[in-house]
Structure 1
């Protein structure tokens, strides 16, 4: 008896199980990194198997769109080997190709997921099911973060160990702060859309605000503030906005001057603001890496590297140039031409044609964050959440709330 394999069934399987399994393996990774470090890299095995399955789907059900993608990937892959071999054997920088390739693959993991599943993402009935799974994962993780805050559970701290472990922040089972920022903002934007445009889930939206606040992450707090301003500007008249901003300014000034507990809560940020300045605090010290890593590294570059890339992230003793400022790292890795080509590929495929202003706002927030934070383009945790959330956020909104 022959078993007929259907593309749609495989794609639905990848997304429905992947949204949950992705979260579970990362949770196991985080717990193991604290209590059993030898098993803390197990998520790599899961993602390798997932990527292989995506490649199988792309090859088995190949079409013009997928052929175009494969040719684009092969072009970037060829440039990757040329630029790194050039660095190693012509420029004389000691790079390790396996580590370099793992980093290269992080940029394209999201594309393999997308091109294996893009057809079901375009169907509203399936997309609703996927987004419901994502919201359940988001809310479950948020409750873990809340429990972690109430009971001081180490595994749910945003920085469980190290010199920054004393800072405020709880992210549940998300493996790192940068990854948590993306995850929490995706959840916040999805639940906001449900509340505002679909008239449902106001209580969930309030919970999402609490969960986001608990992370204590600058990027998440900035995203919350921008969402607040977006909501005001798109729902309230100018006259009322002036009154609200005046009241808010007075309130924030009062809290800052007369509420030392607020300063204590975010003492980590206030300390660096006072001692190192706003830019250092805002970028988490990444601005200093431009002088210490990037500029010395660029001295070894020539025209080939500027055009097609050649970033060394594999050897910290030999001008490691990773800054975790996504836009800078992207152009260091791909060069000027390929950096622009990668961004165009990401825009046309992952972001796609923007269908509503709220989605445009959401994309703008993530682009802004990519200028001073890392792991958006090279995230290993969030690609499956990004393609599902972006598809949902880009759906035409059912209605627009008029300004009052």
Structure 2
């Protein structure tokens, strides 16, 4: 029993470190050797198997996974080449967050586990933010968010989506931790700057939502400066959006050529209309509208909320989203936590690979632990 408790004490911090190092190595491998390392994939698979075995006595939770797996088998059975390896792998990725949340709901983190997890998260945040700054100052390709001329630096985080999710989570983590002292902490200011340097729309939205949340909840409404600060924030965001989408840069170019919606969604609307919907019309039978089904990952719309229903169908998708929300939201939805949830709901509609991103599930677990800690104090 003591060995088990000792293991669980170090599990969250170890997963954070392991995932960061493996993905960092993957990015190095891509940039320098033009070959994506499989290390992160195998590590996450090993972790997923561990969670599954560890939950073997949690029949209620595993029945939920089994039900979703049944949906997959039925939906894919009625599609030609439905059981291709890459398709099944993606379904496994979708199940990873559920197994992670189920495990930590059953094996709750003790005080020491939380402290170690928070320290590891902040250490990774500090190191990666320093690498972003180095990348900006010396124009280092390894630390760039994008390949090509588009501006952005995300350190050793492997993709733009992972960078966006990590820093959006980090900003809310720091807000929950510091509350009224939020803007007085050097790490907070450094994190805001680095979130801006990511060059992603999700990063910009995260900054706005976090700052707005701070103004609304931690600056007394009786003080004259509160509404003025909120007005200044909204005005700044409006001006920034006008400049990005109507005056300069890549987003303005896309708007001129293909419209504002394509600019905001980075052509994901085109993917939906020209590829995803025609695929559904041509290949789906009635059963697929209920349980979902897919034979080619390239037909995804890259809009997280829509792709959930592409994979799971209407009934399966609603169940998946319910299981996800129910297993994750174990805290009271008040004040800052509500804004955090709304931000990530918005992200699900705006970007792709939300539910498949195993690293994001770990980051979400960290902010949940911080919220739970703050609500106990």
Does the 8 Å contact 2:27/2:157 carry over to 1? yes
Check whether the contact 2:209–2:339 (CA below 8 A) recurs between aligned residues: no
The answer as to whether partners of 2:48 and 2:96 remain within 8 angstroms in 1 is yes
Asked whether 1:217 is paired with 2:200, we answer yes
The residue number in structure 2 matching 1:271 is: 253
- Uncovered stretches (5+) of structure 2, i.e. residues with no partner: none
| Pair 1:142 & 2:129 matched | yes
State the TM-score, normalized to the length of structure 2.
0.90
Deviation sequence 1:214-259 (CA, Å, 0-9, x none): 10110010111122222222224275454345555766788899x9
Query: 1:186, 1:389 within 8 Å by CA — same for their partners in 2?
Result: yes
For 2:140 and 2:5, locate their aligned partners in 1 and report how far apart those are by CA, in whole Å: 41
Change in CA separation of 1:390 and 1:245 when aligned onto 2, cut-off 3 Å? closer
State the aligned residue count: 373
> Post-superposition shift, 1:332?
1.0
Unaligned runs of 5+ in 1: 89-93, 315-319, 400-404
Within a 5 Å distance, the mapping from 1:282-361 to structure 2 comes to 282-299=264-281, 300-314=283-297, 320-361=298-339
Question: Which residue of structure 1 aligns with residue 116 of structure 2?
Answer: 129
Find the counterpart in structure 2 of residue 243 from structure 1.
228
Distance 1:38-1:248 versus aligned 2 partners, 3 A rule:
closer
Moved more, 372-381 or 72-81: 372-381
CA distance in 1, matches of 2:12, 2:91: 23
**1:370-389, CA deviations, whole angstroms, 9 ceiling, x for partnerless residues?**
00101221113322222122
Could you tell me which of 101, 120, 125 is aligned with 1:114? 101
Residue 48 of structure 1, CA deviation: 1.6
Does the CA contact (< 8 Å) of 1:294 and 1:321 recur in 2?
yes
The answer to whether 1:393 aligns with 2:371 is: yes
The counterpart of 2:45, out of the listed 41, 48, 59, is 48
Which of the pair has more CA radius of gyration?
Answer: 1
- The residue that corresponds to 1:317 in the other structure is none
Cα distance between partner residues in 2 of 1:256 and 1:345: 35
Alpha-carbon spacing, 1:105–1:45, altered in 2? closer, same or farther (3 Å) = same
SS of structure 1 residue aligned to 2:154: coil
Root-mean-square deviation (Å): 2.7
Q: TM-score, normalised by structure 1?
A: 0.84
SS at match of 2:93: helix
* 44-53 or 166-175: bigger deviation: 44-53
| CA offset digits 1:76-116 (Å, max 9, x no partner) | 1111011001112xxxxx44431111110111112222333
**What do the CA deviations read for 1:290-313 (whole angstroms, capped 9, x no partner)?**
111122112122221111111333
- The alpha-carbon deviation at position 348 of structure 1 amounts to 0.9
CA pair 198-210 structure 1, distance change in 2 beyond 3 A? closer
Q: Does 1:18 align with 2:18?
A: no
Q: Distance in 2 between matches of 1:7 and 1:375?
A: 33
